[in-house]
Chains A and B, each alone.
Chain A
Amino acid sequence: MSTHATTMPMAKREYTGWMAWLTTVDHKKIGVLYILTSTFFLFVGGLEALLMRTQLSAANLKVLNPDLYNQIFTMHGTTMVFLVVMPFLAGLGNYIVPLMIGARDMAYPRMNALGVWLLILGGLFMNVSFFVGGAPAAGWFGYAPLTSISYSTTTGIDYWILGLQMLGVSSISAAVNFVVTILWLRAPGMTMNRLPLFVWTTLVTAFLILFAMPSIAAALILLFFDRHFGTLFFNAAGGGDPLLWQHLFWFFGHPEVYIMILPAMGIVSEILPVFSRKPLFGYAAIAYSSVAIGFIGFTVWAHHMFAVGMPPAINAAFSLSSMIIAVPTAIKIFNWIATIWGGSVNLKTPMYFAIGFIALFVIGGLTGIFLAAVPVDFQLTDTYFVVGHLHYVLFGGSIFGIFAGIYYWFPKMTGKYLDEKKGLAHFWLQFIGMNFTFFPMHILGVLGMPRRIYTYAGDLGWDTINLVETAGAYLIGVAVLVFLWNVISSRKNGKPAPADPWDGDTLEWATTSPPPAHNFDNLPPVNSTRPLWDLKHGGAKASPGASGHVHLPNPSYWPFVLALGLTIVMFGLIYTPIIALVGLAIFVAGFAGWVAQPAG
Chain B
Amino acid sequence: MRRSIRLKFIPTLFSILALGLLVVTGCSSNSPTWLTPASTNAAMVTNLFNLIFGVSVVVFVIVEVLLVYSVLRFRRKSNDEMPTQIHGNSRLEIAWTLAPAIVLVIVFAFTLQTLNAIEETPANALKVKVTGYQWWWAAEYPELGVTTASELHVPVNQAVSFTLESKDVIHSFWVPELGGKRDVVPGKVNTTWFRPTKVGTFYGQCAEFCGVAHANMRFAIIVETQEDFNKWVGDQKKDPAAPVSDLAKQGEQEFLKGICIACHTVNGTVAKGVAGPNLTHLSSRKTFAGGTIVLNKDNLKAWLKDPQALKPGNLMEAGKTIPRLTNAQINALAEYLSGLK
Contacts and interface: CB of A to CB of B under 8 A. Distances in A.
Interface of A: 65-67, 70, 137-139, 143, 145-146, 151, 236-237, 240-243, 276-279, 281-285, 307-309, 312, 315-316, 319-320, 323-324, 326-327, 330-331, 333-335, 337-338, 340-347, 355, 358-359, 362-363, 366-367, 369-370, 372-379, 381-383, 424, 428, 431-432, 435-436, 439-440, 443, 446-448, 450-457, 459-462, 464-465, 468
A335 B63 CA distance: 11
B205 interface: yes
The 7 closest A-B pairs by CB, nearest first: A378-B180, A236-B187, A461-B28, A453-B215, A448-B32, A309-B190, A447-B31
Given A278-B86, A366-B56, 12 more contacts: A66-B215, A143-B169, A146-B169, A146-B209, A237-B186, A243-B185, A278-B85, A283-B87, A330-B96, A330-B97, A330-B100, A373-B114
Contacts of B134: 151
Given A347-B75, A464-B24, A446 B33 contact: yes
Contacts of B74: 276, 340-345
Contacts of A439: 17
A315 B182 CA distance: 13
B124 interface: no
Contacts, number: 303
Interface of A is mostly: helix
Given A316-B112, A323-B104, A323-B108, A379 B180 contact: yes
- Residue of A335, A369, A439 with most partner-chain B CB within 10 A: A369
Nearest to A376: B49
Contacts of A237: 186-187
Contact of B111 (A67, A138, A319): A319
Contacts of B30: 459-461
Contact of A344 (B76, B93, B174, B180): B76
B44 interface: yes
25 contacts: A67-B212, A242-B170, A242-B185, A284-B88, A308-B183, A309-B183, A323-B104, A335-B93, A338-B92, A341-B70, A344-B74, A344-B83, A355-B67, A363-B60, A375-B114, A379-B45, A379-B181, A381-B207, A382-B208, A435-B13, A443-B24, A446-B25, A447-B32, A448-B33, A465-B28
B107 A369 contact: yes
Interface of B: 3, 6-7, 9-10, 13-14, 17, 20-21, 24-25, 27-35, 42, 44-45, 48-49, 52-53, 55-56, 59-60, 63-64, 66-68, 70-71, 74-77, 81-89, 92-93, 96-97, 99-101, 104, 107-108, 110-112, 114-116, 118-119, 134, 168-170, 172, 174, 176, 179-183, 185-188, 190-191, 203, 205-216, 218, 292, 312-313
B218 to A, nearest CB: 8
B25 A447 contact: yes
B111 A373 contact: yes
Contacts of A285: 88, 93, 97
- Residue of B29, B186, B191 with most partner-chain A CB within 10 A: B186
Contact of B212 (A70, A307, A377): A70
Contacts of B97: 285, 327, 330-331
A226 to B, nearest CB: 14
A151 B107 CA distance: 41
A345 B81 CA distance: 10
B109 to A, nearest CB: 11
Contacts of B190: 308-309
A354 B60 CA distance: 17
A450 B86 contact: no
A370 B49 contact: yes
Given A358-B67, A440-B20, A443-B25, A448 B176 contact: yes
B211 A151 contact: yes
B193 to A, nearest CB: 12
B213 A66 contact: yes
A347 B48 CA distance: 40
B215 A461 contact: no
